[in-house]
Structure 1
């Protein structure tokens, strides 16, 4: 094991082994081996994409042998953790390459950010105009910056002094560039409610300020953290609520707060408790039988965690093992597979992060505790006019979750109806697979209440032109291939009543045909209800569910 791990991380793992030993009277799983397993598997996969001549990973989307930046940095962290052969040498090569490609025009909005891929043209030229979240992604400052800090904290003995100085210079520039971000200005959306990059920006800025004795930078990090904490402590929930992907990123970033920031920092004071409360919320919504977190999901890249790779599931891998987590035996075959590249970071931090998780939470991830309801809320100003009210009903094989909201955008704070899922139903089919239904976001205001086997939805400001579109997952291999009514949906009986007309349209969105394309790589059937022509009633539907 000494050959596999750097000394600093090995000592951390030994300390955590002692912690696990202290809990032998309860059902605590082997975090040490699970973390190493995640590190091994994610690195084995990325090894296949590494171009040692270029010092970058090839694109994980196999984009004609171009390379990519963010996953290369994540891979470099894994190289330092693994530290076999010339791993450290290759990590240093990647670090130097990425920093050399950092955007250096101090007057540009993307100053201090990192290239999406090294072959791209210069951002801001006539032929390659700047487009936020396309030709440049401001969140990559946080992803790359936090990874650099983790490397400097965990593996300083493997990084030459001059490279450490180069990294600190890069971190200083990325912190300056991140200070350019103001929600609502220049198409930027970095408000405190944008949880995952807000938490990362606060950390990198505060850490760099302390490391370089830059008091203004330290203060800026504390101010960012204060704003994030104020939103969180209102209901002990992330504003970016219940996201399989971004709750995973937020937990990663909060672990950096808790592990590396001093007690004099708000981040050091609140990081651990925010991790605990976030896991308490997630565990209350998790159904271990379905291996899914019940809805609603503010930002989701899929509808069944067993079929798309979520960063939250990687955390769960380190807690309860791959076989019990919502991870396929071949993670790289899942939807949104590229996030497997963050595996080394999750694995490196897992011994510390997992020591903060209480046994009640852990047990909920292992076995479903029984039928129960959840009521909570989350708040994302300036998009929400009031906090989103969240209700969920969970039973052994059927979960229903929904949130009421009034917002000034369609598609949630991310303005993306394809990822915003305000009402979700999931059920277990006879073969053990998961069926699902989600309301496609089409309105700025929704009253949604999840109850025992029911989902009640109202558009308070709707009219006769309003429609309710329910995306329904395709059946299992044993189910019907063709769906024309609710009777053809496998595993559940659905009754729909309300002010909508009794007739509904059913269309298919498929990989190679149908009425449209899949969403987040998932095929689905679209059940659409409309109001009767000229109706003056408020649009409302009540769905009742029975497992069959």
Structure 2
């Protein structure tokens, strides 16, 4: 009996030791990968920094003007790096940004921050207020959360008067953010607008506790509950599966999990929300293509290998740069300016990555095999009912789409270019990724997705809403430059059937010409199918897809 007990004890010790080694190895990898991300992103931003003015120059090289939001992200990176005069420069940036904060409580943009320091005064006759134009309400959240990270992680580097200055600024930010009501004054902040709503709830709850304002704390918790209720319906973000904004939401949920106390709903639910979000992303990720399968609620590109997504930066800290969907020189990718948020991702990675499930970690490294994913997400007041999502993933081909009935074309963001309700991606022989995407033109869509097929129909069709436009990516480097039919599309065979007229048009959307402009900086060929004249059938199209 003693021998058996000793044997079990030895086995238990061995298992525990192996687990501890795995945890230790994973922690060491995270620290190495996040340090690499911090170093590369800071080296890039160093080139843009104007030490005389205490701001980054525009990352778009806009005639030597400066930018506020990336300057604040850079300041956080300076504190994390802490070399030479980094702290001094970070303090200079913070003082500049807080000093230019909008402090007039009667204005809709109270508590917000300048887009850039050279801009005229928002609200003047010559520079009238335009939400998401001359001012961006989400910058309260982006700048505010960055200030909190700096105060939580690097307070020992910041003079006390600067800390006080930042907390005062955060108080203005929080009060100003309370002015936001979805549907009022052209504002679109509802709990379903995941990334800014999660930031809003956090900053309100954190600042309320810091300055002992019970109303502010309670408001943050109440708003968080609305977000949590939407999430726990199917353990998905309302702003579902966005390469950019899933990354922001994961960042913001990490603040919930790491910095909020146990008596906070945010502190209680944050860890599980991160785990569930990564579970969903892991199921939808194809490591062979280095892409998260569609559909995407808000996308700034059609191939994560070619545009920079914040989600890819998160992956960089988990599996390393080489395995993440990031180009060797990230600042050459589409939507490259988001590389500036890297310091925040790197700073939080040692904690955040402990919440990534083992199954997801495995999927980010190796595609697990052919499978189907079914999810749903809900974005009131835009959705009549939850969107139903289906994706089929195989070794070299993924197909994903969502059924919906909404009150606006282009999804809750009201953006036809970003809302991508049906997507096919495939791996080409040269290792590049081909893609096609349904261009959003309808208030309602029914979908059927399965092995090698995508079927779409419009249940609310009318004379002006009965065509299907598929944006098809250009061929690879050695492929045909001119496309006249499906036969010219590299790496895939597509057979089309349905109630549509099978005679289709093909038009080009190019950087220098063609019928259309690029979408999200991607050139494409537009394959459009209309209905036969006089047809009373429901518009329906079925794509049978095989990798060539």
Please state which band the TM-score falls in when normalised by the shorter chain.
over 0.9
Partner of 2:155: 156
Partner of 1:390: 389
How far apart, in 2, do the equivalents of 1:90 and 1:109 lie? 31
Larger mean CA deviation between 190-199 and 531-540 belongs to 531-540
* 1:247-279 deviation per Cα after TM superposition (whole angstroms, max 9, x unaligned): 000000000000000000000000000000000
Contact kept in structure 2, 1:464 and 1:537, CA below 8 Å: no
Q: 1:506 to 1:224 in 2, by over 3 A?
A: same
How far apart, in 2, do the equivalents of 1:343 and 1:24 lie? 24
Secondary structure at the aligned position of 1:36 is classed as helix
How far apart, in 1, do the equivalents of 2:253 and 2:415 lie? 25
Partner of 1:62: 61
Secondary structure at the aligned position of 1:496 is classed as strand
Contact kept in structure 2, 1:49 and 1:58, CA below 8 Å: yes
Partner of 1:98: 97
Partner of 1:403: 402
Partner of 1:488: 488
Partner of 1:330: 329
The yes-or-no answer on 1:468 pairing with 2:455 is: no
RMSD (Å), alpha carbons = 1.3
Partner of 1:108: 107
Q: 1:450 to 1:28 in 2, by over 3 A?
A: farther
What's the CA shift for 1:22?
Answer: 3.7
Contact kept in structure 2, 1:440 and 1:469, CA below 8 Å: yes
How far apart, in 1, do the equivalents of 2:26 and 2:454 lie? 35
How far apart, in 1, do the equivalents of 2:122 and 2:452 lie? 52
How far apart, in 2, do the equivalents of 1:66 and 1:215 lie? 41
Partner of 2:344: 345
Partner of 1:47: 46
How far apart, in 2, do the equivalents of 1:29 and 1:527 lie? 48
Q: 1:255 to 1:20 in 2, by over 3 A?
A: farther
Partner of 1:507: 507
The yes-or-no answer on 1:175 pairing with 2:179 is: no
Contact kept in structure 2, 1:27 and 1:363, CA below 8 Å: no
How far apart, in 1, do the equivalents of 2:25 and 2:52 lie? 49
Q: Which segments of structure 1 move beyond 2 Å, counting only runs of 4 or more? A: 18-22, 24-29
Partner of 2:4: none
What's the CA shift for 1:38?
Answer: 0.2
Larger mean CA deviation between 310-319 and 455-464 belongs to 455-464
How far apart, in 1, do the equivalents of 2:463 and 2:300 lie? 31
Partner of 1:524: 524
* 1:223-264 deviation per Cα after TM superposition (whole angstroms, max 9, x unaligned): 110000000000000000000000000000000000000000
Partner of 2:544: 544
Secondary structure at the aligned position of 1:30 is classed as helix
Contact kept in structure 2, 1:255 and 1:349, CA below 8 Å: yes
What's the CA shift for 1:416?
Answer: 0.2
Structure 2 gap segments, 5+ residues each: 1-16
How far apart, in 1, do the equivalents of 2:318 and 2:353 lie? 7
* 1:477-531 deviation per Cα after TM superposition (whole angstroms, max 9, x unaligned): 1110000000000000001101110100000001111112111110000000111
How far apart, in 1, do the equivalents of 2:283 and 2:175 lie? 39
Contact kept in structure 2, 1:129 and 1:135, CA below 8 Å: yes
Contact kept in structure 2, 1:470 and 1:526, CA below 8 Å: yes
Q: 1:303 to 1:480 in 2, by over 3 A?
A: same
Q: 1:197 to 1:20 in 2, by over 3 A?
A: farther
The TM-score normalised by the length of structure 2 is: 0.96
Structure 1 gap segments, 5+ residues each: 1-17
Q: 1:460 to 1:254 in 2, by over 3 A?
A: same
* 1:110-140 deviation per Cα after TM superposition (whole angstroms, max 9, x unaligned): 0000000000000000000000001000000
